[in-house]
Amino acid sequence: MVAKKKRRKKRRNRQWLKNFFVKNGHLRRFNTFLVAVLIFALAVFISDLSSQPAPPTKTASELQYERRMNWLNSMAPYAQELQQKYGILASISLAQAAHESNWNNSELSSKYHNFYGVKAGPTQKSVKMPTAEFENNQWVTVQAPFRVYDSWQQSMLDHTLLMTRGTLENPQRYYYVLHAKNYVDAANALVKAGYATDPEYASRIINIIKTYRLDRFDTSR
């Protein structure tokens, strides 16, 4: 019984389709034309879909730039807060953090939150790690005790306090870094003050600031 009903339904469908195109032995031109137009439109639509270029994929360098920019942007508000309170340019704080931590890829930064390669004093919590120093016109690797922090904010604050308080031997050591009119002068003042032994240190910091437009975070003096 069920099989008979199915056969009747199929016959009705075939009859409807036949009547759609033919009536009284004559071809129904309008219906045929309408179907042809619909088929043509569908073919054009499918062709357009297949011919549309795929959305461009980002290159490895573009993805790296985006990751680094997001990382810098996440720290920028705190760097600006420290600039307003202590005077060190936000662009300098951010660029030094990027350079010293190798964009937070170093073990010292990722594990111990030390973004600036700050050495530890005798009574401070520390970890010994190898570091490259430029001595006698050549690079050498030495073991040195580095500060251990609980957070990157603590590291950035400690770096700022180092700039403002200087060292025991010379409290005014970083005076010209704090009072620089722009990031170029501040970067050069870091080298003159002996912050790093790398002779190209200032140019590296300046290049990071230019590449990522970090001076946009500097508040007016």
User: Catalytic site residue 169?
Assistant: no
User: Catalytic site residue 48?
Assistant: no
Tokens of 186: 């501040």
Residues 6 or more apart whose CB falls under 8 angstroms from that of 158 comprise: 116, 118, 147, 149
CA dihedral (108, 110, 116, 122) positive or negative: negative
From 66, 133, 150, 200, active-site residue: 133
From 81, 158, 185, 198, active-site residue: 158
HSE (CB half, 13 Å, CA atoms) of 122?
Answer: 0
Query: What SS3 state is found at 131?
Result: strand
Please report, as a single letter, which amino acid is at residue 144.
A
Catalytic residue positions, numbered: 133, 158
